């Protein structure tokens, strides 16, 4: 069927609900309107008929965020995803429904919404007799149209899509303060490249971006065109709709059971490989913790390495030394490249004195002298005593910016 019913729900039952019937074949609106509250949704049951029902929900009712998660080992890491986001959420993660969106480099888009809110929306729709095909955060239905951002005015808020899988719902009263900050952060993350915005309303003014004005259609029509390509569907996991099978398909029940058993037996054969993978993961975790303890002296116990690493970096930045530390490390790259056999054992940065202390190991005295000669061109260098063993030579070096 080429006609579809689109509904945009509110956060609470008192909020109005917009709806639109769209013909994909004719590319035109069949009917549209706005209901006073969620209790009026039952009036759409007749309009829905056998049409697919796609639902939009306010992005303000959830958290759309990104988390740094390397693609390698992603499947194992996803099991711990709720606890990786625990510090950035105000609600207990056990009460949240998480949906993974598209990947953008090392960042993974994630939507987090309270189970209570999901169950409330689904209860409204069930009571109205509406069978839903998908539920999408409204800002992610804004078509990007080859732009980095998309924006639209809707009631008392701005819907802004900031990436393939990210966006926000911003109250207009906050826009004068929040929009410049949002643009500044996004520009800094993308090497100061200018942001171009697909704009679907004429009353949006965003400083510091390139506005690409789009046809001023009804907001629900714009969202209806984009919802089918939205990257996140909240009807996943425990909320994924169950398929309705014809009675004739029950004849194949036994065959399906046999097929499932065959698949289970095949998976059992992979058991040893999975066990080995888990062992390798544990070894890598131990190695990562050992490196972290070397890089951050004084750490004796690691509970959450990511959280402790972020805390350490924030402390360094708070002392004004975060940027200087990384600039100094970057400046040492040529020296380490020319003396590849020289390795750092530990690093300690004193932000107050802008001083980097490191203990290094080399195969002989000449390598340490060569390293010191290269580094001395760009930094003030104090070399400590060199200790020699049968296998290597160690020394402590103190560097300061000239």
Taking only the tens place, the pLDDT of each residue in 12-51 is 999 999 999 988 778 788 899 999 999 999 999 888 887 7
Residue of 140, 351, 333 whose CA lies nearest to 232 = 140
- pLDDT reported for residue 292: 67
Q: What is the mean pLDDT of the chain?
A: 85
Burial of 327 (0-12, 13-18, 19+ CB in 10 A): exposed
- pLDDT reported for residue 246: 45
Rounded mean pLDDT, 94-110: 89
DSSP state of 140: G
Residue 243 CA, chain-centre distance (Å), reads 30
Most confident of 74-83, 125-134, 246-255: 125-134
Answer for the pair 88, 65: CB distance below 8 angstroms, yes or no.
Answer: yes
Per the listing, tokens 């499932």 go with 260
Of 18-22, 74-78, 293-297, which range is least confident?
Answer: 293-297
- pLDDT reported for residue 313: 61
Reported as a single tens digit per residue, the pLDDT across 206-231 is 888 999 999 888 999 999 889 988 99
DSSP state of 248: G
Burial of 159 (0-12, 13-18, 19+ CB in 10 A): buried
């Amino acid at each position: 069927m080429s006609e579809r019913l689109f509904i945009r729900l509110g956060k609470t039952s008192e909020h109005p609900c917009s709806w639109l019937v769209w013909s994909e074949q004719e590319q035109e609106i069949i009917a549209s309107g706005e209901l006073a509250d969620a209790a009026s949704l039952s009036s759409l049951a007749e309009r829905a008929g056998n049409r697919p029902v796609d639902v939009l929900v306010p992005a303000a009712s959830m958290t759309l965020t990104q988390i740094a998660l390397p693609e390698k080992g992603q499947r194992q890491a996803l099991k711990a995803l709720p606890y990786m986001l625990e510090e950035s959420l105000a609600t207990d993660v056990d009460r949240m429904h998480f949906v993974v969106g598209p990947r953008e480099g090392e960042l993974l888009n994630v939507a987090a919404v309270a189970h209570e809110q999901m169950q409330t929306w689904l209860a409204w729709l069930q009571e109205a007799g509406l069978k839903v095909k998908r539920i999408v955060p409204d800002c992610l239905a804004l078509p990007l149209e080859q732009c980095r951002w998309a924006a639209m005015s809707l009631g008392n808020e701005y819907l802004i899509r900031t990436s393939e899988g990210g966006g926000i719902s911003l109250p207009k009263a906050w826009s004068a303060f929040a929009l410049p900050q949002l643009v500044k952060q996004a520009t800094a993350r993308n090497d100061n490249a200018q942001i171009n915005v697909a704009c679907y309303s004429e009353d949006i003014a965003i400083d510091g971006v390139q506005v690409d004005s789009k046809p001023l259609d009804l907001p629900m029509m714009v969202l209806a065109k984009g919802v089918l390509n939205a990257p996140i569907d909240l009807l996943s996991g425990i909320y994924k709709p169950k398929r309705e099978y014809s009675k004739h398909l029950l004849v194949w029940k036994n065959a399906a059971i046999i097929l499932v058993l065959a698949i289970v037996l095949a998976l059992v054969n992979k058991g040893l490989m999975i066990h080995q993978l888990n062992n390798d993961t544990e070894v890598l975790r131990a190695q990562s913790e050992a490196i972290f303890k070397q890089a951050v002296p004084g750490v004796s116990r690691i509970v959450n390495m990511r959280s402790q690493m972020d805390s350490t970096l924030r402390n360094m930045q708070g002392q004004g030394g975060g940027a200087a530390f990384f600039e100094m490390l970057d400046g040492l790259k040529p020296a380490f490249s020319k003396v590849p056999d020289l390795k750092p054992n530990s690093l300690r940065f004193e932000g107050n004195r802008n001083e980097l202390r490191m203990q290094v190991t080399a195969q002989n005295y000449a390598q340490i002298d060569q390293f010191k000669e290269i580094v001395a061109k760009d930094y003030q260098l104090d070399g400590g005593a060199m200790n020699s063993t049968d296998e290597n030579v160690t020394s402590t070096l103190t560097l300061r910016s000239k």
